[in-house]
């Protein structure tokens, strides 16, 4: 049940209502119609019964006869379904011509003077509706029973017609009620879907805030979400600031200790050095994590060429002083969901390494690639052998233990790239130098929409 969407729940609820309520309403209507039609029919029969009551009289011999005819020809037509009968305790005395040789069954007696209506099975098995009344005629020895009967078939026809109409109209209504809620839910839930879409865009960094131009109930929600997003960004900023300050405070004394270590006698130096290394490692690791953690979710879509411009400009100047050219070939429209500082860190470290080893030129370029952003840094320096390349990526054996293998900065790059679920690969450039390939997933283009 938990996995049902809100729309499915609303729809199921309204459909259930339609499926249960419409037949019930139909049954109720049909019953009410039946009752009222039957009552109307009974009224007609009673009217005839009144005529009959007035017409019956006692003649001089004390026998019963009709003072005048009932008038309706249907009572003359044999087995027309319309009958009347006058009887006393011994049996029928007078009957309508339509009864021919049949007689109406006398329902169990009712209160004297009251008129009652019942349904019975009459001649030839036709259903009949009978009204009866017991009266005491002056000059007759006992109370007589007057009955008028009409064919139920007439009623049934009317009822069937009504039911057909009812079924047709209720089915139409039902169909409408099944379709309309779907539209209603679609329209009603549209702002919710919009919030979902915008949240996704915030996640991939194409949007900083949710649009709060929404219906009243959801507008408040969106504004609250925006406040949370803002606070998150502030917390990250503050965390970064604190980490930076902490780093500054620790790093200078740490450098002093490292420098002084050279003068300590060898046996102690080894042990102190490894402890200092541990402090250093811890500071670096936690700094990198603090400044990188959580940025992925909130980093805007970064314009790659723009974010890297200060780095490439700076390094180009540095390269120019060293006689190494930096060729930058970045797709001008390229964007990626990576924090700009992290992007600068990754590319800056790779470029700095490349420029240290290059003979004449370093190339930075981006490759078109469907769901990824691929950044390639190549130099025309001495390059690395296949085993060295593998070792460089192996976190266990750090290549930069052999000091100034350029400090590689590769571990930082690797940390960051894996934080963004990217891939880092080393290869050989066409010129024989090292080629570093960084592939970052670009979620915006992977699931755009």
Partner 1 sequence: MKLLLVEDDMALARALVEALEQAGVLADHTGSGAEADFLVSTEPYDAVVLDLGLPDGDGVGWLARWREQGINLPVLVLTARGRWSDKAAGFSAGADDYLTKPFETGELLFRLRALVRRAHGHAHPVLKVGDLALDTHTGTVTRAGRPITLTAQEYRLFAYLLHAMPRIVSRTELSEHVYARDQQPDSNVIDVQISRLRRKLGAEVIETLRGQGYRVVSTGDGA
Which residues contact partner 1 by CB under 8 A?
244, 247-248, 251-260, 262-263, 276, 280, 291, 310-311, 313-315, 317-318, 321-323, 341, 344-345, 347-349, 352, 359, 403-404, 407
Strands 127-135 and 423-428: unpaired
Q: How many CB atoms lie within 10 A of CB 275?
A: 11
Q: How large is the angle between the packed helices 340-357 and 304-322, nearest 10 degrees?
A: 30
* Closer CB to partner 1, 301 or 344, in the complex: 344
* Closer CB to partner 1, 221 or 246, in the complex: 246
- The CB-of-249 to partner 1 minimum distance in angstroms stands at 8
Could you tell me where the DSSP H helices lie in 122-215?
152-204
Contact 151, 126 (CB under 8 A): yes
* Closer CB to partner 1, 274 or 404, in the complex: 404
* Closer CB to partner 1, 263 or 274, in the complex: 263
- The CB-of-225 to partner 1 minimum distance in angstroms stands at 29
N- to C-terminal Cα separation, the chain: 28
* Closer CB to partner 1, 166 or 247, in the complex: 247
* Closer CB to partner 1, 224 or 260, in the complex: 260
- The CB-of-311 to partner 1 minimum distance in angstroms stands at 5
Residue 5 phi/psi, 5-degree rounding, is: -75, 160
What's the rounded Cα separation, in Å, for the pair 51 and 70? 7
- The CB-of-285 to partner 1 minimum distance in angstroms stands at 13
Residue 405 phi/psi, 5-degree rounding, is: -65, 35
Strands 434-441 and 423-428: antiparallel
- The CB-of-403 to partner 1 minimum distance in angstroms stands at 5
DSSP 263: T
- The helix/strand/coil state of 146 is strand
- The CB-of-325 to partner 1 minimum distance in angstroms stands at 14
What's the rounded Cα separation, in Å, for the pair 134 and 152? 23
Residue keyed to tokens 């009410």: 32
**Tokens at residue 231, please?**
């606070």
* Closer CB to partner 1, 143 or 314, in the complex: 314
- The CB-of-309 to partner 1 minimum distance in angstroms stands at 9
Count Cα neighbours of 170 within 13 Å in the Cβ-side half-sphere.
Answer: 19
DSSP 109: P
- The CB-of-206 to partner 1 minimum distance in angstroms stands at 23
* Closer CB to partner 1, 64 or 416, in the complex: 416
What's the rounded Cα separation, in Å, for the pair 309 and 303? 10
CB proximity list for 265: less than 8 A, separation 6 or greater? none
């Amino acid at each position: 049940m938990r996995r049902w969407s809100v729309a499915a729940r609303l729809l199921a609820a309204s459909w259930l209502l339609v499926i249960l309520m419409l037949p019930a309403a139909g049954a109720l209507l049909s019953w009410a119609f039946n009752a009222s039609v039957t009552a109307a029919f009974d009224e007609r029969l009673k009217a005839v019964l009144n005529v009959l009551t007035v017409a019956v009289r006692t003649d001089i011999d004390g026998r019963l006869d009709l003072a005048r005819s009932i008038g309706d020809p249907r009572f003359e037509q044999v087995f027309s379904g319309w009958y009347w009968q006058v009887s006393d305790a011994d049996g029928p005395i007078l009957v309508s011509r339509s009864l021919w040789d049949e007689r109406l069954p006398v329902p169990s007696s009712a209160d004297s003077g009251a008129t009652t209506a019942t349904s019975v099975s009459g001649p030839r098995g036709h259903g009949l509706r009978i009204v009866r009344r017991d009266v005491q005629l002056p000059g007759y020895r006992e109370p007589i029973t007057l009955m008028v009967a009409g064919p139920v078939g007439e009623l049934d026809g009317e009822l069937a017609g009504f039911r057909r109409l009812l079924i047709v109209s209720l089915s139409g209504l039902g169909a409408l009620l099944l379709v309309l809620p779907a539209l209603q839910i679609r329209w009603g839930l549209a702002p919710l879907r919009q919030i979902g879409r915008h949240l996704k865009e915030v996640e991939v960094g194409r949007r900083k805030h949710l649009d709060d131009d929404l219906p009243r109930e959801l507008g408040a929600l969106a504004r609250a979400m925006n406040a949370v997003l803002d606070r998150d960004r502030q917390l990250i900023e503050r965390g970064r600031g604190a980490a930076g300050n902490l780093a500054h405070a620790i790093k200078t004394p740490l450098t002093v200790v490292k420098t002084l270590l050279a003068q300590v006698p060898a046996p102690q130096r080894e042990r102190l050095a490894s402890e200092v290394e541990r402090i250093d490692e811890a500071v670096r690791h936690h700094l990198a994590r603090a400044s990188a953690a959580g940025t992925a979710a909130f980093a805007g879509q970064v314009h790659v060429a723009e974010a890297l411009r200060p780095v490439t400009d700076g390094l180009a100047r540095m390269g120019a002083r060293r006689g190494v050219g930096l060729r930058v070939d970045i797709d001008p429209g390229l964007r990626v969901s990576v924090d700009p500082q992290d992007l600068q860190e990754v590319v800056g470290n790779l470029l700095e390494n490349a420029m240290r080893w290059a003979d004449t030129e370093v190339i930075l370029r981006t490759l078109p690639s469907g769901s990824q952003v691929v950044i390639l840094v190549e130099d025309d320096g001495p390059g690395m052998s296949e085993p060295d390349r593998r070792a460089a990526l192996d976190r266990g054996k750090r290549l930069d233990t052999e000091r100034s293998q350029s400090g590689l900065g590769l571990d930082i790059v690797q940390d960051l790239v894996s934080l963004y679920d990217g891939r880092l690969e080393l290869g050989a450039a066409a010129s024989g130098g090292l080629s570093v390939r960084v592939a970052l997933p670009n979620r915006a283009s992977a699931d755009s929409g």
